[in-house]
């Protein structure tokens, strides 16, 4: 479904990704971890064309992300992305946040978009908040709205970039619980996170990055049981 082949990327003369190869199959829950600055955000953003890359190829459902002929906004509309900082529209109500993309990008009617948006809002346990504005919700609630908004677009895969790292500790679990539910329902997910508890519960693949390289790409059991590289062992020793 997502095929990343020999991808390299430079910011000027600084090489941020070196020859990265991995793939995400339908139903995979891939956790991407590694030290700060190792290129995790950059890698995940290359998947939906938010970051261009200079070498290699990325195929999403067979479509080449780097090909100028690919309609990137169409591609992005089918890949949900959830960032660290929620990125809801502050001047729009929760309901409007949920419907805007569906109406503008997918061409749905207001009625259809509202029905779908509220269905997912209910699913993340926030239906009662539909007429509030983002600033009136807690960080954990805003992130759950962001997830509901992404799901309203009927994505075939979801990308998460440290979705809980800007949250107060007591709110982390409410967001992780929503993500665990999604994973258990078979959603294809690529998740950058330091939450190794989440990884142990639902990941089936772990990618460990360091200095722009994919150093490990293995099963969860392999990663937590006997990581091959010293760098992954050091990382795990510090984080767990
Ligand atoms: P991670 O998400 O693993 O913390 P990033 O992908 O955000 O890492 O960044 C990887 C490296 O690329 C870091 O050294 C960072 O400073 C650098 N970097 C990120 N964005 C830019 C940019 N726009 N211009 C130059 N360097 C950048
Ligand atoms: Mg990052």
Q: How would you write the pLDDT of the chain (240 residues) with one tens digit per residue? A: 999 999 999 999 999 999 999 999 999 999 999 999 999 999 999 999 999 999 999 999 999 999 999 999 889 999 999 999 878 999 999 999 999 999 999 999 999 999 999 999 999 999 999 999 999 999 999 999 999 999 999 999 999 999 999 999 999 999 999 999 999 999 999 999 999 999 999 999 999 999 999 999 999 999 999 888 999 999 998 886
CB 179 within 8 A of CB 124: no
For ligand 1, whether the C-beta of 16 sits within 6 Å is: yes
Q: Are strands 205-210 and 213-219 parallel, antiparallel or unpaired?
A: antiparallel
Ligand 1 in contact with 13 (CB < 6 A)?
no
- Name the nearest CA neighbour of 53 among 9, 22, 4, 5: 9
Identify the domain boundary among 129, 155, 181: 155
Say whether both 124 and 171 belong to one domain. no
185 and 67 in a common domain: yes
pTM for this model (two decimals): 0.95
Give the Cβ contact number of residue 192 at 10 Å. 24
Same domain, 24 and 69: yes
Domain match, 178 and 70 both: yes
CB of 9 closer than 6 angstroms to any ligand 1 atom:
no
- Our CA angle for 187, 188, 191, nearest 5°, is 110
Provide the domain limits for residue 171: 2-78+156-238
Same structural domain for residues 27 and 132?
Answer: no
Q: How far is the CA of 39 from the centre of ligand 1 (A)?
A: 6
Distance, CA of 115 to CA of 103 (rounded, Å): 12
Asked if 145 and 201 sit in the same domain, the reply is: no
Query: Does ligand 1 lie within 6 Å of residue 38's CB atom?
Result: yes
């Amino acid at each position: 479904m997502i095929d990343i082949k020999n991808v390299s990327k430079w910011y000027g003369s600084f090489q941020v990704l070196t020859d990265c190869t991995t793939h995400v199959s339908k139903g995979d829950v891939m956790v991407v971890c590694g030290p700060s600055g190792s290129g995790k955000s950059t890698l995940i953003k290359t998947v939906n064309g938010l970051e261009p890359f200079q070498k290699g190829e990325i195929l999403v459902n067979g479509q080449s992300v780097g090909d100028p002929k690919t309609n990137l906004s169409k591609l992005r509309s089918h890949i949900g992305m959830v960032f660290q900082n929620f990125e809801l529209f502050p001047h729009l109500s929760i309901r409007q946040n949920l419907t805007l993309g569906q109406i503008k990008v997918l061409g749905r009617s207001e009625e259809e978009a509202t029905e779908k948006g509220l269905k997912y809002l209910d699913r993340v346990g926030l239906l009662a908040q539909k007429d509030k504005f983002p600033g009136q919700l807690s960080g954990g609630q805003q992130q759950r709205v962001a997830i509901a908004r992404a799901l309203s677009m009927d994505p075939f895969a979801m990308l998460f970039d440290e979705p809980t790292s800007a949250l107060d500790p007591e709110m982390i679990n409410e967001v992780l619980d929503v993500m665990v539910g999604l994973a258990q329902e078979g959603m294809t997910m690529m998740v950058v996170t330091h939450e190794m508890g989440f990884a142990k519960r639902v990941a089936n693949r772990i990618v460990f990055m360091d200095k722009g390289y994919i150093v490990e790409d293995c099963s969860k059991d392999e990663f937590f049981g006997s990581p091959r590289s010293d760098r992954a062992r050091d990382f795990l020793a510090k984080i767990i």
